[in-house]
Structure 1
């Protein structure tokens, strides 16, 4: 009978075996597709690598912005060797210029990358005090007739630290007297504010610390992921060549 034949097919041992094999293969495939569980050591290694990589990239990238904006002016200020004690400066004249060739420098400019088509030149007079061994009179080279007044060694900056409108109003009026610092390397340059310790602090905070962090984290990552052990030289095997006649 047809009914009996169909029931025999359903109870066929070979069909049941094939069905069981298919189910086992599907279960095995499902287990193989699962993400392998990480051990505590592997997790700690992963998070440590991520942390040191982030520190190295962040510190290295910060150097690209901090060096031209802060470190380079601080180094230039120290190289100019400004006098540690202020002298009295008197504004002699103030000039407003326009044009690229007339604005090679500016007493104050907001934005070091801004255009140089408009600029303000402020000139001052100051007198260098005599040396202790010659306090009775000034030598001829101790007197400076005129110098340019700069808001800082670069003559530029960004608000709120540098506001050129306030700087020009305070020191640009002819006849104004105020304390200033002159450069002992270039007597024709004077600044209103100077603090040597502040410049050294800027170099340490904005260059030395990020540079050390970049180097240290790079070395740590190299040690973690590079096998620096000396490997033995490869052994060369000699092969015999037989002549076939």
Structure 2
């Protein structure tokens, strides 16, 4: 009797352990599926958000084909304007989606002389021949950005106002020679473009792949088929019993 009771208790413990494992698997699958679905949705919104703020400016920067080495620039005019009619363009704008009500418009001359050579000395500013004169000067390709990376007041103080006529490094576009920017880095631009394209799309693909693998019957061939034989047999036996009862009732009449 004791052996039987021990055997029975072991069987019960194993059954309970199996139930706990199966329950844990079901809970894990549910919460993982919830996380995957949420990740997929957020990845789509993140990618749509990054298109106008990162992807499009990065592609525009690549198409502009800026000179990799900074050249020598000199600011020749600084205009501070207010009102939509007076701010048709702006050298710096905090926020890329709103219309500028106040703007700084800076014009520069630039020469293709590398700024490093200018710093070495031996070059007279008055004797320089400017390749392009009085062209629009932007903080970056889009001419806008968001704090703290972009601060238009600091930008204006650095290149305009009392600093007019002082040489500084700048980058000109080989595609559009009249376009000059203050900030440019090929490595950073390419890095941000790749990250903004790869991370959301990889997260979306992985999340959708896991959900398809679990919940698409045609995609998961290794899934154990559901045994419906017991249900079919019980269904037929129930119908047979009902038919026999109806036959007996009719025979009594």
Q: Which residue of 2 aligns with 1:44?
A: 28
Structure 1: stretches of 5+ with no match in the other structure: 1-35, 131-141, 231-245
Q: Which residue of 2 aligns with 1:234?
A: none
Q: Distance in 2 between matches of 1:79 and 1:181?
A: 14
Q: Which residue of 1 aligns with 2:198?
A: 208
Q: How much does 1:145 deviate?
A: 2.1
Matched, 1:72 2:60: no
Q: Residues 156 and 229 from structure 1, CA distance in 2 versus in 1: closer, same or farther, beyond 3 angstroms?
A: closer
RMSD: 2.3
Q: Distance in 2 between matches of 1:228 and 1:201?
A: 39
Structure 2: stretches of 5+ with no match in the other structure: 1-18, 115-129, 221-253
Query: Which string of whole-angstrom CA distances, capped at 9 and with x for unpartnered residues, describes residues 196-225 of structure 1?
Result: 000011112222211121122113212221
Matched, 1:95 2:73: no
- The count of corresponding residues between Structure 1 and Structure 2 is 184
Q: How much does 1:229 deviate?
A: 5.7
TM-score, reference length from structure 2: 0.66
Q: Residues 153 and 229 from structure 1, CA distance in 2 versus in 1: closer, same or farther, beyond 3 angstroms?
A: closer
Query: Which string of whole-angstrom CA distances, capped at 9 and with x for unpartnered residues, describes residues 148-168 of structure 1?
Result: 111111111111101111100
Matched, 1:144 2:168: no
Q: How much does 1:228 deviate?
A: 2.4
TM-score, reference length from structure 1: 0.68
Q: Residues 43 and 84 from structure 1, CA distance in 2 versus in 1: closer, same or farther, beyond 3 angstroms?
A: same
Mean Cα deviation higher: 108-117 or 188-197: 108-117
Does the Cα contact within 8 Å between 1:125 and 1:147 map onto a contact in 2? yes
Q: Distance in 2 between matches of 1:78 and 1:99?
A: 32
Q: How much does 1:143 deviate?
A: 2.0
Partner residue of 2:69 out of 73, 81, 85:
85
Does the Cα contact within 8 Å between 1:81 and 1:184 map onto a contact in 2? yes
The secondary structure found in structure 2 opposite 1:103 is coil
Q: How much does 1:52 deviate?
A: 1.4
Matched, 1:166 2:154: yes
Does the Cα contact within 8 Å between 1:87 and 1:126 map onto a contact in 2? yes
Does the Cα contact within 8 Å between 1:128 and 1:144 map onto a contact in 2? no
Q: Residues 104 and 222 from structure 1, CA distance in 2 versus in 1: closer, same or farther, beyond 3 angstroms?
A: farther
Structure with the greater alpha carbon radius of gyration: 1
Does the Cα contact within 8 Å between 1:146 and 1:188 map onto a contact in 2? no
Does the Cα contact within 8 Å between 2:212 and 2:219 map onto a contact in 1? no
Q: Distance in 2 between matches of 1:164 and 1:126?
A: 21
Query: Which string of whole-angstrom CA distances, capped at 9 and with x for unpartnered residues, describes residues 119-151 of structure 1?
Result: 211010011249xxxxxxxxxxx9222321111
Q: Distance in 1 between matches of 2:219 and 2:65?
A: 49
Q: Distance in 2 between matches of 1:120 and 1:229?
A: 59
Alignment of structure 1 residues 92-241 onto 2, 5 Å: 92-129=76-113, 143-173=131-161, 174-228=164-218
